[in-house]
Amino acid sequence: MSPLRSPSRVHRIVATAEAVTWTGLLGGMFLKYVTETTELGVSIFGMLHGIVFIAYCVTTTVVAIDQRWSTGRLIAGLASSIPPFLTLWFERYTRRHGLLAPTWRLLEETPTRPLERPLAWLLHNPVRGVAAGLASVAALTAVALVVGPPVG
């Protein structure tokens, strides 16, 4: 079975990747700011984490639409990507509470809401769906690069 055939599996993989890149970025920040030995870790993991952060937000939004999460739950899922490692807790929470189905609902049900229609089409056309997901992440990453790093 393809890892993309299950919203629970897709969400788990991307949530875990987001936490792993957080680990790399925090390690890179330690080397840069505490030991003052190298900026390489921040250079590598900063960009990588940014891309995976965006992928997590796109994935969480897609899963929320398919699984008919409330707006509040979607916001909680998106907010979980900000503190380090909270995506892992949120993914486990959603799984324990039955909020992540083993199959995509829109592969079996007729879409009734406006955002469900294009998502159902993308799920029924998985190559185009993956391409659209990658294009979304690339476009949002490009926007983030133009806007610049967070000020703080």
Using CA atoms, how far residue 136 sits from 51, 79, 129, in Å, is 11, 19, 10
Q: Is residue 10 part of a domain?
A: yes
Per-residue pLDDT, averaged over 65-86, amounts to: 97
CB 31 within 8 A of CB 44: no
Can you give the pLDDT at residue 149?
Answer: 74
Structural domain including 125 reads 3-147
Q: Is residue 116 part of a domain?
A: yes
Predicted model pTM: 0.93
Can you give the pLDDT at residue 68?
Answer: 97
Taking alpha carbons only, the member of 19, 14, 127 closest to residue 62 is: 14
Give percent of the chain above pLDDT 70: 96
Any residues with CB less than 8 A from the CB of 141 and at least 6 apart, and which? 50, 51, 54
Q: Is residue 95 part of a domain?
A: yes
Q: Is residue 69 part of a domain?
A: yes
7-47: per-residue pLDDT in tens? 999 999 999 999 999 999 999 999 999 999 999 999 999 99
**CA 146/CA 32 separation, integer angstroms:** 24
**CA 35/CA 24 separation, integer angstroms:** 15
Q: Is residue 13 part of a domain?
A: yes
Q: Is residue 61 part of a domain?
A: yes
Q: Is residue 90 part of a domain?
A: yes
**CA 73/CA 103 separation, integer angstroms:** 19
Q: Judge whether residue 152 has pLDDT over 80.
A: no
The pair of three-digit structure tokens given for residue 61, joined into one six-digit string: 């939004």
Tell me how many domains the chain contains.
1
Q: Is residue 152 part of a domain?
A: no
